[in-house]
Structure 1
Amino acid sequence: MTGQTAGSFSFADWKEENVVAADDGAGIARASVVNVYSGTIEARGACEYTIVYHREGGTDGVFAGYERLSGSIAGRSGSVVLEHRGAFEGDTVHCTVTVVPGTGSGELAGVTGTGGFTARHGEESIPYAFEHSPG
């Protein structure tokens, strides 16, 4: 059975550090993030992002990361790893997420899925959509 999941999440913690600054102004940063999900996904996520800023101090760039969710999806408990890929421009972030195959545990073993979110800087609660199959 395939399910459409919707809800919201918030950043419980965000720690970012610059890793590489280049002469042309482009730079790379790393962020360790804790997310708290509510709705059909009831989970806490630990995420590690690599962020590329198009220029020093810029507000435009791209990112990729992996997040381990621990909790439940549609009432099924366990954990799973999500791959995040996205871009940001100004105060808007667009991100797609995909379940990394073979990372589910407990009742989430074998789960597959994709989804995403659009966030705006300063939002406390970010809506997400996620379509999944139990596996």
Structure 2
Amino acid sequence: MSETTTATGAIESKSWEQTEYAPVPGAPALATAKGYDLYRGDLDGDADWQGLMFAGPDGSGTFHSLQRTRGTLGGRTGSFVLELNGTFAATGESRADWRIVPGSGTGDLAGITGTGGYESGGSSATYTLIYRLP
């Protein structure tokens, strides 16, 4: 069995689009969102993501998304899919827990497994990915 490795670094959001769906006057908002991020640090690459969001009257809420992450991790190049579940505040802070979707690794990252997450203070985010490679 391979050894567990921890990767850390920063995420920079490069694009974000959000579209409300199923609106009801006075009810909390439901929306789809998609975006593109850059990863720097132990994971060097980029990611496209798309998800669902719920925003309450105070502007805070939850989200669930899938993200295809491409790049170099631990000297290996390929891609994998992250499943994210998180929360956000009206002030712009957010956090998420994630897991690598089993069987989603490609290239040198085939067989990767792992968990982790990120925390954002608004314009900047830091990530942790605890992973295993075969």
TM-score exceeds 0.5: yes
1:34 has 2:36 as partner: yes
Compute the RMSD of aligned alpha carbons.
1.2
Asked if 2 retains the 8 angstrom alpha-carbon contact of 1:51 and 1:62, the reply is: yes
For 1:104 and 1:73, locate their aligned partners in 2 and report how far apart those are by CA, in whole Å: 12
Per-residue deviation, residues 27-63 of structure 1 (Å, max 9, x unmatched):
11111110100101011100002101123xx421100
Structure 2's unaligned 5+ residue stretches are: none
Give, in whole Å, the separation in 2 of the partners of 1:71 and 1:5: 13
Question: Which residue in the other structure is 2:127 paired with?
Answer: 128
Aligned residues between the structures: 131
Cα separation, 1, equivalents of 2:109 and 2:27:
43
Residue 85 (structure 2) pairs with residue 80 (structure 1):
no
Letter in 1 for 2:103: G
Partner of 2:66: 66
Q: Check the 8 A contact 1:40/1:75 in 2, yes or no.
A: no
Structure 1 residues not aligned, in runs of 5+: none
Distance (whole Å) between structure 2 residues aligned to residue 87 and residue 21 of structure 1 = 21
Matches within 5 A, 1:38-53: 38-53=40-55
Residue aligning to 1:4: 6
Q: Which runs of 4+ in 1 moved over 6 A?
A: none
